[in-house]
Amino acid sequence: MTDAAALAPDLTGATASQGDRSVVVKDLHKWFGAFEVLRGVDLTVAPGEVVVIVGPSGSGKTTLLRCINFLEEYQGGRVYVGGKLMGYREAGAQAGKLVRLPDRDVSRARADVAMVFQAFNLFPHMTALENVALGPMKVRHLSKAEAHERARTVLARVGLADRMSSYPSKLSGGQQQRVAIARALAMNPKVMLFDEVTSALDPELVGEVLGVMKQLAESHGVTMLVVTHEMLFARDVADRVVFMDSGKIVEEGAPAAIFGNPRTDRLRSFLKRFQGAIQDERPTV
């Protein structure tokens, strides 16, 4: 079976989580020391929506994802996942002030938000199956048998049914990244965050990973925020594209509007770098 054929399994229903899968970011401000990296970000993502975030390096895309996952604390605004404030509680008497939640509560809130990074960070001494089963056992408290069953299901869905017993060193970069996506899916997340997950891959391996993400997007079972420089993927797969520059959302809209009719000079000059790729009519995957 070729890798392309291996992508055929349907991801529909892979993550049919219960409850609210929305993300709401309100007037988010984040400083690193004296440097204001997020300068008032407002973003509402509907349940099951696929939002692709594009923008120049250093514009704050990673920091925004990390604030949504509460890997970063922030100094102003609010982030709600599934209608719940992430990482903090309102201080009550002091209107507008937030109090950080204890680590236990932060971990529990974070379990609903799965993040996939550029680096796969699989455990080298564990098989693909064991890597994927670990989170459901540790965080969701599934039995080993239940966790392995879930791991087999999600690995099949990312086209790796025949590589479950492989150690990461025996897998290609594309396969390792698909294991990392399966590991995130196995947590049954409400929201999945993808941060340049194909940037470290050899060009010939990018397509298989984008293919898995596309199937996942089309299932609308999970809300997806995807940071990528793959403009064809953004054009073909996103429900909405968000353009960030210098810590702010400068433009957002349907892919056709963002790529076909950019309103700001900043977006126009950003897109110029990708012009060849976007005008190319070949499908992404």
Ligand X SMILES: Nc1ncnc2c1ncn2[C@@H]1O[C@H](COP(=O)(O)OP(=O)(O)O)[C@@H](O)[C@H]1O
Which spans of this chain sit near ligand X (rule: CB under 6 A)? 32, 37, 55, 57-63
CA-CA distances (angstroms) from residue 34 to 37, 38, 74, 234?
Answer: 9, 12, 13, 33
Nearer to ligand X by Cβ, of 47 and 56: the residue is 56
19 binds, among Mg ion, ligand X, none (CB under 5 to 8 A by kind): none
Residues 61-90 that bind Mg ion (CB under 5 A): 62
User: Using CB atoms, what's the residue nearest to Mg ion?
Assistant: 62
Interface pattern 89-118 for Mg ion (x via CB under 5 A): ------------------------------
Name which of 68 and 142 has its Cβ closer to Mg ion: 68
HEC readout, 141-185: CCCHHHHHHHHHHHHHHCCCHHHCCCCHHHCCHHHHHHHHHHHHH
CA angle 68, 29, 100 (to 5 degrees): 60
What SS3 class is residue 8? Answer: coil
Nearer to Mg ion, 154 or 201 (CB): 201
Q: Give the CA distances from residue 195 to residues 53, 64, 66, 99, 109, in Å, rounded to whole numbers and listed in that order.
A: 9, 10, 10, 28, 20
CB of 81 to ligand X, least distance (A): 19
Binding status of residue 198 toward Mg ion by CB under 5 A: no
Between 58 and 260, name the residue whose CB sits nearer to ligand X: 58
What is the nearest approach in angstroms of ligand X to the Cβ of residue 224?
A: 17
The SS3 call for residue 15 is coil
Tell me which residues touch Mg ion (CB under 5 A): 62
